[in-house]
């Protein structure tokens, strides 16, 4: 079933705000844009929403066209430029980030320069990125906050393109120049994790614990770090402390479920899975996680209940019928197990033929009894 180790804690932390139906002005704009009609003037917030929806839907060309109109309608709106650069960055449209950032160099804003550095690195132009970084640093030498921001962007962007040693060196320079900072330590910690430098990573994690001991998000992040380092007890303590500080996020629940399971505390893992589903009942992957835990505990009837819940969300996933059939077979319900496979074949079309093979295997086993 589901491998807990492969589960991304952040997968379920998503923004529901982009779900349809979208605002009326989006549909009106989309119709006019699609049919080459005259486009009405919209304010910057509405245009920002439209750009975000297009990018979310994968309508890249329409997003780019809308960006052009938005910048014509509001050429000097720094908030709009900031939001557009951020959206392009988030969607990995690095050529467009670079072009827009270079168009806005007259703003002399650190966030514009930061986007340009990130774009250069993601486009494989590392030398150009470092030349630009060295060029702009003197402009911010009297503004420690903005200079710190640029160092952070450079260090983080280098890690995003797997240049962890270079990132570590940049952060070391920042600490020497600006003094220690929590986010600088986090970047160094990530570099140590990437290099499998466990002892150094643990030393930095311990330092971070002492710097920010009453922040739930910090302890959650440390829980993830300790899990990566195979320090299960430390990971449990960190996730539990995050929860005690009211950091009851979806990802923290998933962290606890994962580390409890890894540590062999299946009942605690199942307890947390139940708490999660009580608070967030619409995420079918967690029903599968709960079913997996029940199967490890031989709670077959309860496992079937979670599989049925998952099937309500994903009736076309053939593996769910396989699991349900096997759980029923463990209960001695052979006819129901066969029926579960038949239902799966009917509803999923069984394009790979796996359900039919499982049905034939189970049928033949029962015929011999």
- Cα 65 to chain centroid, rounded: 28
C-beta separation of 361 from 334 below 8 A:
no
Domain 107-195 is of which CATH architecture? Answer: Alpha Horseshoe (1.25)
Percent of the chain with pLDDT over 90: 86
C-beta separation of 197 from 178 below 8 A:
no
Look at residue 225 and tell me whether its pLDDT is greater than 50: yes
Q: For the chain, what are the domain ranges?
A: 17-91, 107-195
CA distance 2 to 87: 32
Residue-wise pLDDT tens digits, 305-346: 999 999 999 999 999 999 999 999 999 999 999 999 999 999
Mean pLDDT (whole number) for 279-296: 93
CA distance 140 to 184: 18
127: which 2 tokens? Answer: 């030398």
pTM, two decimal places: 0.83
Mean pLDDT (whole number) for 116-143: 96
Q: Which long-range contacts (CB under 8 A, 24 or more apart) does 310-314 make?
A: 310/284, 310/285, 312/284, 313/282, 313/284, 313/287, 314/284
Q: How many angstroms separate the Cα of 63 from the Cα of each of 49, 53, 193?
A: 10, 8, 37
Residue-wise pLDDT tens digits, 109-128: 899 999 999 999 999 999 99
Q: How many angstroms separate the Cα of 107 from the Cα of each of 103, 116, 148, 216?
A: 9, 13, 19, 37
pLDDT band at 107 (very low <50, low <70, confident <90, very high): confident
Burial class (CB in 10 A: 0-12, 13-18, 19+), 38: exposed
CA distance 64 to 331: 57
Residue-wise pLDDT tens digits, 176-204: 999 999 999 999 999 999 999 999 999 99
Look at residue 2 and tell me whether its pLDDT is greater than 70: no
Residue 284 falls in which region: left (phi positive, over 0), alpha (psi -120 to 50) or beta: alpha
Look at residue 18 and tell me whether its pLDDT is greater than 60: no
Confidence (pLDDT) at 8:
55
162: which 2 tokens? Answer: 């797997």
User: DSSP state, 8?
Assistant: -
Residues 6+ apart with CB under 8 A from 242: 216, 217, 218, 219, 220, 223, 252
Look at residue 212 and tell me whether its pLDDT is greater than 90: no
Residue-wise pLDDT tens digits, 241-280: 999 999 999 999 999 999 999 999 999 999 999 999 999 9
CA distance 336 to 330: 11
Alpha helices in the chain (DSSP H): 24-34, 44-57, 60-73, 78-90, 94-103, 110-122, 126-136, 144-160, 164-178, 182-194, 198-211, 216-228, 232-244, 250-262, 266-279, 284-296, 300-313, 318-330, 334-348, 354-367
Residue-wise pLDDT tens digits, 24-83: 999 999 999 999 898 989 999 999 999 999 999 999 999 999 999 999 999 889 999 999
Confidence (pLDDT) at 368:
65
CA distance 340 to 345: 9
Confidence (pLDDT) at 369:
60
């Amino acid at each position: 079933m589901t491998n807990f180790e492969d589960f991304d804690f952040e997968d379920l932390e998503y923004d529901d705000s982009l779900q349809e139906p979208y605002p009326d002005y989006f549909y009106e704009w989309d119709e006019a844009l699609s049919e080459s009609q005259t486009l009405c003037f919209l304010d910057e917030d509405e245009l920002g929403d439209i750009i975000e929806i297009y990018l979310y839907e994968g309508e890249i060309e329409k997003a780019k066209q809308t960006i052009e109109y938005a910048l014509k309608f509001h050429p000097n709106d720094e908030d709009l430029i900031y939001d557009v650069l951020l959206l392009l960055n988030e969607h990995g449209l690095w050529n467009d980030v670079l072009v827009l950032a270079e168009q806005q160099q007259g703003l002399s804003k650190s966030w514009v320069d930061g986007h340009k550095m990130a774009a250069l690195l993601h486009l494989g132009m590392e030398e150009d990125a470092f030349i630009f970084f060295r060029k702009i640093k003197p402009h911010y030498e009297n503004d420690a906050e903005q200079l710190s921001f640029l160092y952070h962007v450079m260090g983080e962007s280098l890690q995003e393109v797997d240049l962890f040693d270079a990132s570590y060196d940049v952060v070391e320079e920042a600490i020497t120049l600006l003094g220690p900072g929590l986010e600088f330590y986090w970047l160094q910690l990530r570099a140590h994790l990437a290099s499998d430098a466990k002892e150094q990573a643990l030393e930095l994690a311990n330092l971070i614990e002492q710097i920010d001991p009453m922040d739930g998000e910090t302890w959650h992040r440390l829980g993830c770090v300790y899990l990566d380092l195979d320090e299960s007890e430390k990971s449990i303590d960190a996730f539990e402390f995050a929860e005690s500080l009211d950091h009851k996020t979806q990802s923290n629940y998933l962290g606890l479920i994962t580390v409890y399971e890894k540590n062999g505390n299946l009942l605690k893992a199942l307890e947390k899975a139940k708490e999660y589903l009580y608070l967030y009942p619409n995420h079918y992957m967690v029903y599968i996680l709960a079913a997996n835990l029940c199967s490890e505990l031989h709670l077959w009837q309860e496992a079937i209940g979670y599989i049925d819940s998952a099937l309500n969300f994903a009736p076309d996933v053939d593996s769910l019928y396989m699991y349900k059939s096997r759980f029923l077979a463990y209960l001695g319900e052979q006819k129901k197990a066969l029926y579960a496979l038949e239902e799966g074949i009917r509803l999923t079309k069984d394009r790979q033929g796996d359900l039919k093979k499982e049905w034939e295997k189970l049928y033949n086993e029962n015929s011999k009894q």
